Each structure stands twice: as C-alpha cells, then as structure tokens.
Amino acid sequence: MKLWGGRFESGPSAVFERFSGSLDFDRRLIEADIRGSQAFARALERAGILTAEERGEIVTAFDQIRAESVHPEFFAGAADEDVHTLVIRKLKERAGAVADKIHTGRSRNEQVSLDTRLWLREECGDLQALLCGVMGRLLGLAHMNSGAIIPGYTHLRRAQAVLWPHYLLAYFEMFHRDWERFSEARRRANVLPLGSGALAGSGFPIDREAIAKDLGFDGITRNSMDVSGDRDFALDFLYACTITMIHLSRLAEDWILYSSDEFGWLELGDGVTSGSSLMPQKKNPDSLELIRGKSGRVMGCLTSLLVTMKGLPMTYNRDMQEDKVPLFEAADQVSGSLLMMSAVIDSTKLNPVPPATAAAESWVVATDLAEALARAGTPFHQAHQIVGRFVLESIRSGKKPSDWTAEEMQRFAPEFTGDFAVLLDPKQGMRSREIPGGTGLLAVASALAEAKERLGKLIV
Ligand code: ARG
C-alpha cells in the first residue's frame, strides 16, 4: 500500500521501492506508531473529525494490531514503504472505511518524529537502569577491597598511590554523568511534535496540549518547520551513547592491562574470557576487547547522523530516514556492552598484593615527601628539587624507598628531619589527602557512602 499516488501516472520502479523502503528497520517503531496513532484518533474526536464511535473502532483495531504485531509472521511479506504505511494498511484491513480518516491533517514527517521520540525516551530509561547496574557493581567491588592500595597513573607511569575504591569511584562518577546525559536526552526528546503537519502546522484544530498530556509529554514543540527538519534529539541520544561507550572502553582498556601477567592485579572469571585455538595456556579478555571495539561502532553512529544532517535544507528531507539505523544500532551496542561489563565486574577479583608492591617499589611517594618538606617550611620548588635528587640517587644506586633509613635520608638532605622516613610507605602519604574528592581513607569512605546514597536515589 501507498499513502500517496494520485498525482502519478505510473507506480514506482522496483529498484526505487527496494532502495527507499524503510520497513526492514523502522518496524521497530511499531509500538510507538500505534500508541501515537491511538492518541491522534482521540485528538481527532476532540476536534470533531471522528465520532466517538469511529474513534472507538479505530482504537480497538489498533489494540488488536498491537497484539498481533508481537508475532514474527505479522511482518511476513509486507511490502509497505515504511512502518507508518504498514500500520495504516493493517487498520484499513481491520476497521474498513473509517481508517481513511486517521491521517487527517497528519504527516509522516511529524509522525516519524513522534515515534522516534516515544521509542527513545523508553530506551533512555532502559539504558539508565543498566548504568545503575554497573555503578552498583563498582561500589560492590570497592567494598570487597576497601583498603587496597594501587599506584595511580599519569602517562601510564606510576604517579601517586591511591586507594582501589578511589579508582573505582572515578568510573562511578563517569557513569553517573552518563546517567544524567540520558536524563537530559530524554527531557529533550519528551516534547510533542504532533500538530506540526508536514512543515506548516496542521490545518485542523487539534488540541496539541491534550495529546501531549495523553502521551505523557512534558510539553509541545514550538515551531512546525523546526519539527519537520529536527533530529537534534536523536543526536543528543547518540552523544550520550558515545560518551558512555568511551567510559566503558577506557574501563575495558584498564582491566585488559590490569589482568595481564605484567600487572597481575585482576583475575577475570572464566565465564567472560576465552581461550586460543592454538596456544593452550591462553585466557584472553575478549569481552573487554569487544566492549572497546564496539565503542568505535557507536561513535560511528553519532558521526553518521551528524554528517547526514549537516547541510540539509529546511525542512524535512528523505535523508533523515537514515537516522534510525544508527539510533537502533547505538542503543543495542550500549545496552549489550553495559550488560557485558556488569558480568565482567561480577566475575572480577582483585589480587591486592601486586598493586601494593608496585606502589611500594616505585617512587609514588615522591610527592608526599616534597609536600611534607613544604609543610615543614621548605619552599615547594626547593622541596621538589631535593626530592628529585633523592629519587635520582636512589635510581643510580638501585635503591627502593624501603631501602632507606631515617639517618641515611637526613645525611642525604638535612631537611629530611624527624619522621620523614615513615613517608616512604605509600599508605602514610595518603593520610594527607583527606580533602573532599581526595584519596584519604576517610575521604574515600565518605565518598563511598555518598555514592551509595546517590545511586539509591537514581534507582526508582
Ligand atoms: N519513512 C520516512 C522517514 O523515516 C517517513 C517520512 C516520509 N516522508 C516523506 N515525505 N517521504 O523519514
């Protein structure tokens, strides 16, 4: 079936039909399309275009179509141009002539915007729930080794000692921001476009505010031309997806490293790793590598729609039909990756000895020493110099921090008085980092409690 054709002398060619049809992918919007059309039928009744009886027939027919649509054979052999056309054909088959009125003053341009918004706001909620799952598991893992010390890195070089929970909380914050971004994406999508017509506004007095209420939208869009040419809400969603994947990808990269023989910090469960067809000893972190790999695909989805939209003349252009493939693809990859990451976290165990040793045997305490000198009165630049020379001397003579005694330190630099030697243990220096957001034991304990409370408020 077509929703147009009167002004044509012959039908579309087979190649054009094949090329332009979108049912293969936009069938995923069927639930949204039916919901939107039912609300539109109620609006047409309020506008005096449908009688109560006609509206009743249409709404009931749509309920039946919805129930049928969950069976795969529903779509078998369908040759409709898109999901909107298919839904109207099914309505005609069920409800007969009255179906001819459902599209009064409505355009597929606004309908596709409506359907996508309805779908997208559900999807935001689903992804937010999965994000909460990952965040909760990070907190769980933090509690399992709340006192473990690891070297924190900059430039992938050991920098300063931090608590293992402090490291995990950093990812908690990233995923929390992602949660907020999906809230924002949902908020932006949650505005009713219906009533915009093709581009100039509906020619019928439909009560837009009433439809908005009916469908649970926060309000109505303000300009019909904007609606017709707008995919910002899809881009906002794709951006939120992309940043989430970047965070997942960075966590994956960390853990691929941390679970390697070279690091030896983490043991990933058998259930999320795989072996080699040739090398019998291998246990590979494929789940994490795939999360990292899929992040590229999601970034590609954002890029794809950005490029599609750039330079389109006002208002609707058929190019915009291409938005759905990247939207669905991104949503699926993000939800799959969040689920996978949850399973990885569940399976992961920290072996606290190697990271503690890595911290103790390196010079992550250098900053602690320099800051202690500064606290004792040595200007910081001089303190930095003194500790720099101390580290250089240690490297030359092959000494680890624990190889120094208090007397030797003082002989090296008279500024190292009293208790400086205790700072050679990374645990000690962390005590000076009780600032909010820092890695001090108490600061991290309260950050953990605060994060738990914040997460509790997200899960509603
Ligand atoms: N399938 C189309 C899309 O996704 C619906 C809009 C069709 N509008 C048109 N003017 N051809 O964008």
Q: In terms of domains, do 115 and 100 share one?
A: no
Q: Is the link from the previous residue into 315 a cis peptide, with omega within 30 of 0? A: yes
Can you tell me which residue has the tokens 């291409």? 322
- Shared-domain flag, residues 276 and 346: yes
Measure the CA–CA gap between 345 and 140, rounded to whole angstroms: 9
Residue 33 CB–ligand 1 contact under 6 Å: no
Alpha helices in 70-107 (DSSP H): 83-95
- Pocket probe for ligand 1: among 230, 318, 328, the residue whose CB has the most ligand atoms within 8 Å is 318
Domain end residue (candidates: 324, 352, 380): 352
User: What does the alpha-carbon distance between residue 113 and residue 65 come to, in Å, rounded to a whole number?
Assistant: 21
- Catalytic residues, by residue number, are 155, 276
Distance 229 CA to ligand 1 centre (A): 11
Same domain, 135 and 281: yes
For ligand 1, atom 3, the nearest C-alpha belongs to: 321
State which of 112, 116, 228, 309 you would mutate to test the pocket of ligand 1, scoring each by most atoms of that ligand within 8 A of its C-beta.
Answer: 112
The confidence score (pLDDT) of residue 419 equals: 86
Cβ contacts of 287 within 8 Å, gap of 6 or more = 268, 272, 273, 340, 343, 344
Residue 286: Cβ within 10 Å count: 15
State the pTM of this model.
0.96
Tokens at 26, concatenated: 């936009």
pLDDT in tens, 89-105: 999 999 999 999 999 99
Helix %, strand %, coil % for the chain, to 5? 65, 5, 30
**234 and 171 within one domain:** yes
Residue 443 lies in a domain: yes
Q: What mean pLDDT do residues 142-147 have? A: 97
Domain of residue 115, CATH code: 1.20.200.10
Ligand 1 pocket: which of 82, 309, 312, 320 to mutate (most atoms <8 Å of CB)? 82
Mean pLDDT of the chain: 97
Residues 81 and 181 grouped into a single domain: no
pLDDT in tens, 289-306: 999 999 999 999 999 999
The answer on 291 and 160 residing in a single domain is yes
pLDDT > 80? residue 1: no
Q: What is the pLDDT of residue 2?
A: 81
Are both 171 and 91 inside the same structural domain?
A: no
Distance 40 CA to ligand 1 centre (A): 18
Is residue 48 located within the same domain as residue 81?
A: yes
Give the whole-number percent of the chain exceeding pLDDT 70: 100
Is residue 148 domain-resident? yes
For ligand 1, whether the C-beta of 315 sits within 6 Å is no
pLDDT 10s digits, 30-86: 999 999 999 999 999 999 999 999 999 999 999 999 999 999 899 999 999 999 999
Band (pLDDT 50/70/90 cuts) for residue 3 is confident
Is the C-beta atom of 231 inside 6 A of ligand 1?
no
Give the distance (Å) from ligand 1 centre to CA of residue 144: 53
Q: Give the pLDDT of residue 460.
A: 65
Assess whether the C-beta atom of 111 lies below 6 angstroms from ligand 1: no
Q: How far apart are the CA of 378 and the centre of ligand 1, in A?
A: 71
Which two tokens mark 343?
């399973």
What average pLDDT does this structure show over 248-261? 98
Contacts of 67 (CB under 8 A, 6+ apart): none
228 CA distance to ligand 1 centroid (A)?
10
410 inside domain: yes
Q: What is the pLDDT of residues 308-363, one digit of tens each?
A: 999 999 999 999 999 999 999 999 999 999 999 999 999 999 999 999 999 999 99
Range of the domain at 62: 14-104
Q: What confidence tier does 217 reach under pLDDT thresholds 50, 70, 90? A: very high
Model confidence pLDDT, tens digit, residues 160-212:
999 999 999 999 999 999 999 999 999 999 999 999 999 999 999 999 999 99
* Mean pLDDT confidence for 110-138: 98
Query: What would the pLDDT profile of 368-389 be if each residue is shown by its tens digit?
Result: 999 999 999 999 999 999 999 9
Is ligand 1 within 6 A of the CB of residue 112?
A: yes
What's the pLDDT score for residue 72? 87
Q: Mutation test of ligand 1: which of 19, 20, 108 has the most ligand atoms closer than 8 Å to its C-beta?
A: 108
In this structure, the answer to whether residues 324 and 383 fall within a common structural domain is: no
For the Cβ of 109 lying below 6 angstroms from any atom of ligand 1, the answer is: yes
Task: Give the pLDDT confidence score for residue 420 in this predicted structure.
Answer: 94
Asked if residue 11 has pLDDT above 90, the reply is: no
| In a domain? residue 1 | no
* Within a domain: 397: yes
Q: Are 241 and 328 in contact (CB under 8 A)?
A: no
Same domain for 63 and 199: no
Number of domains making up the chain:
3
Work out the average pLDDT over 455-459: 92
User: With contact defined as beta carbons under 8 Å apart, do 100 and 183 qualify?
Assistant: no
State phi, psi for 158 to the nearest 5 degrees. -55, 130
pLDDT at residue 4, as a whole number: 83
What angle, 0 to 180 degrees and rounded to 10, lies between the N-to-C axes of helices 232-258 and 286-309? 160
* Domain-located, residue 209: no
Single out the residue in 56, 85, 104 at which a domain terminates: 104
What is the predicted pLDDT for the residue at 352?
A: 98
Is 319 inside any structural domain?
yes
Pair (34, 96) in one structural domain: yes
Cα dihedral sign for 326, 332, 338, 340?
negative
User: Is ligand 1 within 6 A of the CB of residue 321?
Assistant: yes
Centre of ligand 1 from the C-alpha of residue 7, in Å: 18
Residue 116 structure tokens: 């996508």
Within-domain flag for 296: yes
Q: Which atom of ligand 1 is nearest to the CA of 22?
A: 1
Q: How confident is the model at residue 5 (pLDDT cuts 50, 70, 90)?
A: confident
Angle, helices 232-258 vs 324-347, to 10°: value is 30
Report whether pLDDT(459) > 80: no
What distance in Å separates the CA atoms of residue 29 and residue 112, rounded to the nearest whole number?
9
Protein residue with its CA nearest to atom 12 in ligand 1: 321
Instruction: State the closest ligand 1 atom to the C-alpha of 198, by its place in the atom list counted from 1.
Output: 10
Calpha distance 2→246 (Å, rounded): 42
Q: Residue 164 corresponds to which tokens in the numbers above?
A: 């293992």
320 lines ligand 1 (CB under 6 A): yes
When pLDDT is cut at 50, 70 and 90, the band that residue 397 belongs to is very high
Count CA within 13 A, CB hemisphere, residue 282. 11
Q: How far is the CA of 322 from the centre of ligand 1 (A)?
A: 10
Does 265 lie in the same domain as 144? yes
Look up the CATH number of the domain holding residue 44: 1.10.275.10
Q: Please identify, among 322, 352, 382, the residue that sits at the C-terminal boundary of a domain.
A: 352
CA of 8 to the centre of ligand 1 (A): 18
